[in-house]
Amino acid sequence: MARALLIVDVQNDFCRGGALATDRGDDVAAEISAYLLTHHAAYDVVVTTQDWHIDPGTHFSENPDFTNSWPVHCVANSSGAAFHPDLDMDYVDAMFRKGEYEAAYSGFEGLLAPEDSVMTGEHEPGHMPEDTLKVSLDDWLQEQDVTDVDVVGIATDYCVRATALDAADAGYETRVLVDLTSAVADETAETAVAELEDAGVQVIESTSVGR
């Protein structure tokens, strides 16, 4: 049995000053880093997902409804798409990008980024080369013999929710460490938590995780 920590979309555009800032985005970035410092030994692998939009169609809108359409955000190679500077990447084993030409809320829609990508976003990483092997998150986790996943990140009610539901549907024992997530809105976060629990996902506090 191997356990993975999936860090979902802790990017500048979802934090203070970003195009789609969530209330706790900055706090969650720092809190995940602190959690990793004390709990990294509890995980066999650590993975990040990254919104990486080029032309996602109706996902972007000048008149967004903030449910199915959104302001422009996390454009590939932009500072908004970069990981938040308070997110410690030292323990990260792989990064998966999603949503180049579609909405792609779930990390399981992402593909493994090239190894030479700059994870911190301090420089401009290029697009994935045409001949890059297209490895999905599910395939990669199976290669690592992962059976259990913990999900953290942004946003509780959208990409964290979608990633955790897909993980459970794929057969992983799935937990969401809810205090290490940041929501778009309290009401939709409550609905998401209920949906996750109905799907068999454990929604717990990070303090419940043994070191």
Per-residue pLDDT averaged across 16-39, rounded? 96
Q: Which is more confidently placed, 198 or 127?
A: 198
Alpha helices in 40-160 (DSSP H): 137-143
Per-residue pLDDT averaged across 135-142, rounded? 96
User: For this structure, is 98 an active site residue?
Assistant: yes
The answer to whether residue 131 scores a pLDDT higher than 50 is no
| H or E, element range at 34 | helix 25-39
Confidence of residue 126 (pLDDT cuts 50, 70, 90): very low
CB 155 within 8 A of CB 9: yes
The overall average pLDDT reported for the chain is 91
Q: Which pLDDT value is given to residue 65?
A: 84
Q: What is the pLDDT of residues 56-112, one digit of tens each?
A: 989 989 888 888 898 889 999 999 999 999 999 999 999 999 999 999 999 999 999
Which of 15, 74, 98, 157 is an active site residue?
Answer: 98
CB 12 within 8 A of CB 81: yes
Which of 9, 138, 150, 166 is an active site residue?
Answer: 9
Per-residue pLDDT averaged across 138-147, rounded? 97
Confidence of residue 211 (pLDDT cuts 50, 70, 90): low
Which of 15, 51, 88, 159 is an active site residue?
Answer: 159
Q: Which pLDDT value is given to residue 20?
A: 94
Confidence of residue 116 (pLDDT cuts 50, 70, 90): low
User: For residues 15 and 168, what is the distance between their CA atoms, to the nearest angstrom?
Assistant: 27
| % pLDDT > 70, the chain | 91
Per-residue pLDDT averaged across 27-36, rounded? 98
User: For residues 198 and 203, what is the distance between their CA atoms, to the nearest angstrom?
Assistant: 11
- Helix or strand or coil: residue 128? coil
Number of compact structural domains in the chain: 1
Confidence of residue 200 (pLDDT cuts 50, 70, 90): very high
Q: Which pLDDT value is given to residue 210?
A: 79
User: For this structure, is 159 an active site residue?
Assistant: yes
**CATH number (domain holding residue 156):** 3.40.50.850
State in Å, rounded, how far the first CA of the chain is from the last one.
16
User: For this structure, is 9 an active site residue?
Assistant: yes
Give residue 24's domain range. 2-208
User: For residues 156 and 149, what is the distance between their CA atoms, to the nearest angstrom?
Assistant: 16
The answer to whether residue 52 scores a pLDDT higher than 60 is yes
